[in-house]
Chain A
Amino acid sequence: MSEITPDLVRHLAGLARILVSEEEVEQFTKQLGLIADSVATVGKAIDADTPATSHPIPMANVFREDVVEPSLSQAEALSGAPDSYDGRFKVNAILDEE
């Protein structure tokens, strides 16, 4: 039985900063429930001793010389921004007025 409820979908969407309509909540609850039940089978394959693999080709401590090279100019870095001011990214207020 799936743990995915409409409230959980609303909560997760909130964490992921995605506004969802009630119609989407209903659809995602159903679809994600089926998917979650299906992917939960991973638990059957493993035991406590199985090591985890996060990366397919193991590599560690990849270093290179710390040399200054040309990089994006300020104007280039801002070129895709929806809004900018005085050479910076401009965003709306972080805090509510209340």
Chain B
Amino acid sequence: MSELIRKSASELAELLRNKEVSSVEVTKAHLERSDTVDGAVHSYLYQSPEAALIAAAEIDRQRAAGDSMHALAGVPIAVKDNLATTDAPTTAGSKILEGWVPPYDATVVKKLRAAGMPILGKTNLDEFAMGSSTEFSAYGPSRNPWDLERIPGGSGGGSSSVVASFQAPLAIGSDTGGSIRFPAAVTGTVGTKPTYGAVSRYGVIALASSLDQVGPVARNVLDTALLQDVIAGHDKHDSTSLPESLGSMADAARKLDVKGMRIGVIKQLTGEGFQKGVSARFQESLNLLQAAGAEIVEVSCPSFEYAIAAYYLILPAEASSNLAKYDSVRFGLRVEPGENATIERVMAATREAGFGPEVKRRIILGTYALSSGSYDKFYGAALKVRTLIQRDFAEAFSKADVLVSPTAPTTAFKFGDKVDDPLAMYLNDIATIPANLAGIPGMSLPNGLAEEDGLPVGIQLLAPAREDARLYQVGGFLEQAHEQVWGKRMIDFAPELEVR
């Protein structure tokens, strides 16, 4: 195994800058890693070795010619398969889009290409990003590199497992209710959901447009920051894109100082319902923050009790509308139910064959929530709860600069444990959903191992809208404080994968 794959993106960028290694070598090392481990982990739905090596060779040529280069130029990356790419099929984990090659690149993909980052392939996800385990991917689940019998989190389990298994130093994810942060927590990696609008959604296959946000996935805080700095920025193709810059996340990640910061513990996201090891590691991190001069305060967010209910009305309502475009006309699957079938029957047969069970459930639920007679009771009420959650956050942020909670109530569960029980699956997202409803940024980073099962635990940091830099400042500090205690990076505790 090449030692290059265990290096962070910032270490690789440094080696590339100093011409101690070429992008072709770095890219090849990661492709070879995938050859040996992805049969077991199944992070990728599609790999593009030829295109990645061509991009890498071009970057090497530019560097040799003395061109000015982006900070991460030559560092390869994996992209979640719900971002449009012109040179690779884009399926969103669904049979209804099997083999579809989009005629344009997502803005985020364009930015990666412009920064000179070779794209290794497209990562697995629950179908249309609906799920917490990748078990709802139409192409089979991804596996957790810490224990192949367990889920890598979802929906972005392909992106979390691809970095956790050293197949890529960086990946792109998307987070509608925790799809970046929950996978990061259960795989011992880092993931950020930026402020809503900080990263363009143009070319991202929409799940719920008022909740979806694209973000960075990596193995440490600085790499995550560097990647957010690449993908963030205003995009005229996305009318919800923020006009202003949020500053350098990498600068914030390098501060390593929390003295005088007020850290708010969300009362409703601790205690009962959280696994013992999750709670124990959380308390230890609070102690580290306090010892470094941060002030720990308790905040109360009473409306969070209704966050999951509101989310599972708003999301299906928006999804049922967004997914109406899969109608067998402009792209994707078409199923003909016999001779001379009308378009309406073709649509119904296509959507029956092309959508999996969770997608059907949520479309039907969303159709119900929006139907006349139910609208006020369900969708209308959920939008009001959204206001209450924003008020809770506003009150909490008047007392604290950053809020903290465990990222998830438990460590990674086993395949099959929750797949037939939608409500149990939805409860995983209890700590992550409020940030999406309010549009604020959130990060999950490694917080140690639970003693009862030896599996990774994550801590979630939340900041007010547009204050993403605070996440990186506190996250960067906490990461180095942890590593001093542990004597190494948390990912280095992961068992070696049996390689083919």
Residues of A within 8 A of B (CB): 4, 8-9, 12-20, 24, 27-28, 31-32, 34-36, 38-46, 50-57, 59, 62, 64, 72, 76-77, 79-83, 89, 91-97
Q: Is the CB of A82 within 8 A of B332?
A: yes
In the bound complex, CA of A44 to CA of B342 (Å): 44
Contact of B88 with A by CB under 8 A: no
Partner of B197, one of A57, A83, A89, A95: A57
Contact A50:B388 (CB < 8 A) given known A28-B360, A82-B333, A92-B343: yes
Q: Given A35-B422, A77-B103, A79-B103, A18–B329 Cβ distance below 8 Å?
A: no
Q: Write out the residue numbers on chain B whose beta carbons fall within 8 Å of the beta carbon of A31.
A: 361, 422
CB-defined A-B contacts under 8 Å, sample of 25: A13-B364, A16-B351, A17-B347, A18-B348, A18-B352, A19-B348, A28-B364, A36-B368, A40-B378, A42-B378, A45-B303, A52-B386, A56-B437, A57-B242, A57-B465, A64-B236, A72-B103, A80-B100, A82-B332, A82-B334, A83-B334, A92-B336, A92-B340, A92-B343, A93-B342
Q: Report the bound CA distance from A93 to B346 in whole Å.
A: 10
Q: Are B364 and A81 in contact (CB under 8 A)?
A: no
Select one of B101, B341, B360 contacting A24, CB under 8 A: B360
Q: A16-B324, A18-B351, A57-B465 are in contact. List 8 more A-B contacts (CB 8 A).
A: A18-B364, A42-B313, A42-B382, A43-B381, A52-B380, A80-B100, A80-B101, A91-B346
Shortest CB-to-CB span from A28 to chain B, Å, is 6
Which 9 A-B pairs rank lowest in CB-CB distance, beginning with the nearest?
A56-B439, A80-B331, A82-B334, A52-B383, A19-B352, A76-B103, A50-B384, A46-B384, A53-B386
Q: How far is the CA of A80 from the CA of B160 in the complex (A)?
A: 30
Set of chain B residues within 8 Å of A79, measured between Cβ atoms = 101, 103
Confirm or deny: B279 has a beta carbon within 8 angstroms of a beta carbon on chain A: no
User: Please, which residue of chain A has its CB at the minimum distance from the CB of B348?
Assistant: A19
B340 touches A97 (CB 8 A): yes
Residues on A with beta carbons closer than 8 Å to the beta carbon of B195 = 57
Q: Verify A45–B305 contact, CB threshold 8 A.
A: yes
Residues of A within 8 A of B361 (CB): 28, 31-32, 35
The digit string for B121-145, where 1 denotes a CB below 8 A from any CB of A, is 0000000000000000000000000
State the Cβ distance, B150 to closest chain A Cβ, in Å: 24
Shortest beta-carbon distance from A2 to chain B in Å: 11
Establish whether residues B390 and A53, one from each chain, have CB atoms under 8 Å apart when the complex forms: yes
A93 to B334, CA, bound (A): 14
B360 and A41 contacting across the interface, CB-CB below 8 Å: no
Smallest CB–CB gap between A48 and chain B, Å? Answer: 9
The listed residue (A9, A14, A45, A56) touching B210 by CB distance below 8 A is: A56
Q: Is chain A's binding surface mostly helix, strand, loop or mixed?
A: loop
Max chain B CB contacts within 10 Å: which of A43, A53, A80, A95?
A53
Bound-state Cα–Cα, A62 to B383, Å: 22
Cβ contacts B268-299/A at 8 Å (1 or 0 each): 00000000000000000000000000000000
Residues in A neighbouring B102, C-beta threshold 8 A: 80
Q: Do the beta carbons of B342 and A35 come within 8 Å of each other? A: no
| Residue of chain A at shortest CB distance from B435 | A56
Contacts of A27 in B (CB 8 A): 357
Is the beta-carbon distance between B240 and A59 smaller than 8 angstroms?
Answer: yes
Inter-chain contacts of A64 with B (CB < 8 A): 236
> Would B365 and A35 count as touching, CB distance under 8 A?
yes
* A32, B345: Cα distance in complex, Å: 24
Instruction: Determine the distance from Cα of A79 to Cα of B344 in the docked complex, in whole angstroms.
Output: 23
Q: Which residues of A contact B348 (CB under 8 A)?
A: 14, 17-19
